[in-house]
Structure 1
Amino acid sequence: MTDQAPHEPPAIVNLSDGVARLTLNNPRRKNAITLQMAALIEDFCRSVHADETIGAVLVDAVGGYFCSGADTRDLGQSSADPAAPKSVARTSAVYSAFVEIGRLPVPSVSLVVGGAVGAGLNLALATDLMLVTADAVLDSGFLARGIHPGGGHLSLLGRAAGYQQAIALGGLGIPLSGAEAVRRGLAWQTADPEDMLDAAEALVAKAAADPELARRIKNSAVLEVGPPAIPWTAAIEVERGVQMWSFGRKGRTGWDRKPSKPHVVAEP
């Protein structure tokens, strides 16, 4: 059985009224990022850069779960020999998917239904704003699997919500509910699944109506706001070597182990 129906790509692109929408389409694996999906995400980002009629981007997913991270089948292959060129290239391809989302020249919003884990959380955090369902589970997931965070994960958490949140999620493995993530500044607002697309479109309406201005504002925001610490691209390299080491500890069979069910911090 394949993860998509025949002829269905693992990422779907739509363009309407100045808004480019990228929809992850791997629901049978909770929209895990495959190498093919990563390549399509990069293609999408290149098209947004090239098309100056686009003023905003939405990133969502088919089904009831945003993204469960990198496909464990690819990670399992990488863990066999993490220093091998093919392993590095495979991991870097997944990194590139959310790095290019983070480099988009227009404001971007992720629509997180159900949850986001590991590289899936990186993808959500790479956008400028995150909408979440109140009961979504935002989970670093790396510690539970015995590997070091990767893809600049700690940098993304830190720039979104500060050092304590980066340590809590990335260092202590504490997941947050969507409602708690909003309260702590990790996400922008909650919405019911059936209302989320309307809420996202309302947020980006002005940017979509004036793409030229939206692009100039986004460029200024990146220059002015930062992040002020090391660049995200540098953080990726800091984490890369240690994550490869942690892959090596696991070997091929380590990916068969399911992480324990997280205890989610809910709103008081």
Structure 2
Amino acid sequence: MTFRTARLFELKTEDDMSDDRLLFEASDGVAILTLNRPEVMNAFEDGMREALFDQLDACATDPSIRAVVITGAGKAFCAGGDIASMAKLQEDNDVSIVETRMNIAGQVIQQIRRMPQPVLAAINGAAAGGGMNLALACDLRIASDRAVFAESFVKIGLVPDWGGFDFLTKLVGTSKAMELMMLGDRIDATEAHRLGLVNRVVPDAEFRDEAAKLARRLADGPPETLAAIKEGVYRGVDSSLPETLSYEYKTQRRLFLRDDAREGMKAFLEKRPAVYENRD
């Protein structure tokens, strides 16, 4: 099945928004999850983390969903936690809700990592605090040239969460991670790309189309193969060479006679695009 590109990926403006704080739409195998509090740069409020986890969990077991996109409404991707809400918890000397929120955030990022589909962060604007680390948790990241990034936790006396210590350090190394986390400075999309935090930066006027094209390419790919690549890359970060070679051997042997490999090789020999079907 080859998916259509028309009107797949239409980022929402503030005028398009409903009262739902997380929007979900699926078109021809691509699921789009839109964080929807543009009035506060899509900062998380109670219920949004749970909704995000539930949608990701549902997508993970739906064979008709071949790629997942996470993006933000309006002019921002996500500003992380709602600071006004956090200040209220401090007034009440209440850390129990903070613990609950962090637990759910942990479930979200672990679900992104373990689900078989590629998850693309489409970073349309500012990604700060937990919002930046949510983007880093995704498998691929495409950013508008107007996007900015900040590990801004230090500005309010807190440490990074949403897996930031893991994701950022592995991507940029300890020295740069220390700098970004200890100073909390903003970096633009060009610098984020130079550091390897995003895969692509595109002009804002072309962002929707380019994000759609990338999502489409992922959705058109061989689903079992992409799932195995995703697992292999994350295994490879912490595995020894013998462990990695063992995974490669077992996985290549398992996939060799599967339909994806048969179709891929047949299409190559026939000099045509491969057409990969959904797998139950």
TM range (shorter): 0.7 to 0.9
Q: Which residue of 1 aligns with 2:29?
A: 18
Q: Which residue of 1 aligns with 2:175?
A: 164
CA distance in 2, matches of 1:151, 1:227: 23
How many equivalent residue pairs? 226
Larger Rg: 1 or 2?
2
RMSD: 2.6
Q: Give the 3-state SS of the residue equivalent to 1:69 in structure 2.
A: coil
CA distance in 2, matches of 1:161, 1:227: 19
Whether the 8 Å CA contact 1:113–1:132 is kept in 2: the answer is yes
1:223–1:165 distance in 2 versus 1, CA, 3 Å? same
Residue 208 of structure 1: how far off its partner (Å) = 0.9
5+ residue gaps, structure 2, are 1-13, 241-280
1:134–1:84 distance in 2 versus 1, CA, 3 Å? closer
Q: Which residue of 1 aligns with 2:163?
A: 152
1:4–1:126 distance in 2 versus 1, CA, 3 Å? farther
1:118–1:84 distance in 2 versus 1, CA, 3 Å? closer
> Residues 1-268 of structure 1: matches in 2 within 5 Å?
8-80=19-91, 84-209=95-220, 210-226=222-238
Residue 142 of structure 1: how far off its partner (Å) = 1.1
User: Normalised by the size of structure 1, how large is the TM-score?
Assistant: 0.75
Q: What amino acid does structure 1 have at the position aligned with 2:26? A: L
1:7–1:64 distance in 2 versus 1, CA, 3 Å? closer
Whether the 8 Å CA contact 1:52–1:212 is kept in 2: the answer is no
CA distance in 1, matches of 2:207, 2:47: 27
1:217–1:54 distance in 2 versus 1, CA, 3 Å? farther
Q: What amino acid does structure 2 have at the position aligned with 1:43? A: D
- Identity rate of aligned residues, in percent? 29
Q: What amino acid does structure 2 have at the position aligned with 1:148? A: V
5+ residue gaps, structure 1, are 229-268
Residue 114 of structure 1: how far off its partner (Å) = 2.2
1:93–1:182 distance in 2 versus 1, CA, 3 Å? same
Q: Give the 3-state SS of the residue equivalent to 1:168 in structure 2.
A: helix
